[in-house]
Structure 1
Amino acid sequence: MKAIKNKDLNDRRGNAKDAKAAQLEAYRAAIAAAAPNREARQAERMAIAEARDARRAERERLKLEEQTRIAAEAAEREAAIAAAARAEAEEREAANKARIARVFEDEAARKAERDRRYAARKARKAG
């Protein structure tokens, strides 16, 4: 059979108080034991955090350089495309001017030939 233990409220309160005091004492002992290592761990954590920040800054710098390079290449491509378009437009314009000049020359040659024939006809009739 079970042994029935009669514990009154004061006994339970006392036991709880003792248990809490023991836990607090164990916690304080653990903190005191970890104190020498805590500063070293804290310094190590700070060094790790600084190294992480340095790596992040380096990554961001490289990313910025890459974006700048890509933007410069895009600007160069755009400038080359614009230059090619200007050159093509100028070439087209020059071809149009040359064609117009040929038309005027042909027209002048035709008029000169007509005038020559007219003069020859007049000369035949007069002579």
Structure 2
Amino acid sequence: MKNSRDNQLSDRRTAAADAKAALLKAYREAQVAAEPAKAARQAERASIAAAREARRVERERVKLEERARIEAEAAAQQAAAQAAAQAEAEARESAEKDRIARVIEDEAARKAARDLRYANRKARQA
């Protein structure tokens, strides 16, 4: 008979205090027993966090290198496009100058031919 009806208040209080003390003692013993495993888990978590941070830093570095490479390629393409545009403008200008020179030469040749015809006509008349 576990729970007999003749328990007094002091007996019940003592039993409750003993049970509470036993629970507290068991809890403290479990904490002490789990301390090495807890430290190992914390160390493992710290190493995982450090590795995660190292991977994040590496990703950032790779991202920055990629961005710098893309910017360098864009600058090179822009420089090439600018050089091509400048070469095209120079070619257009050169072609325009050649055309103007040919027009001037043609005008001079026509004028020379006209002057020759005029001189021949004057020579025939005289």
TM over 0.5: yes
Taking only aligned residues, the RMSD between alpha carbons, in angstroms, comes to 2.6
**Mind listing any 5+ residue stretches in structure 1 that lack a counterpart?**
none
Distance, in Å, in 2 between the alignment partners of 1:59 and 1:94 is 52
Distance, in Å, in 2 between the alignment partners of 1:48 and 1:89 is 61
Letter in 1 for 2:125: K
Give the TM-score, by structure 2 length: 0.79
Distance, in Å, in 2 between the alignment partners of 1:12 and 1:113 is 142
Kindly state the Cα deviation for residue 26 of structure 1 after the two structures are TM-superposed.
Answer: 3.8
Distance, in Å, in 2 between the alignment partners of 1:98 and 1:81 is 25
Matching of residues 1-127 of structure 1 within 5 Å:
23-126=23-126
Q: Which moved more, 1:18-27 or 1:110-119?
A: 18-27
Change (3 A) 1:31 1:113: same
Change (3 A) 1:103 1:11: farther
Distance, in Å, in 2 between the alignment partners of 1:75 and 1:16 is 82
Structure 1 runs of 4+ with >6 Å offset: 10-19
Change (3 A) 1:14 1:95: farther
Kindly state the Cα deviation for residue 52 of structure 1 after the two structures are TM-superposed.
Answer: 1.0
Deviation per residue, 1:59-85 (Å, 9 max, x gap): 111111111111111111111111111
Query: How many equivalent residue pairs?
Result: 119
Change (3 A) 1:111 1:39: same
Kindly state the Cα deviation for residue 49 of structure 1 after the two structures are TM-superposed.
Answer: 1.2
**Mind listing any 5+ residue stretches in structure 2 that lack a counterpart?**
none
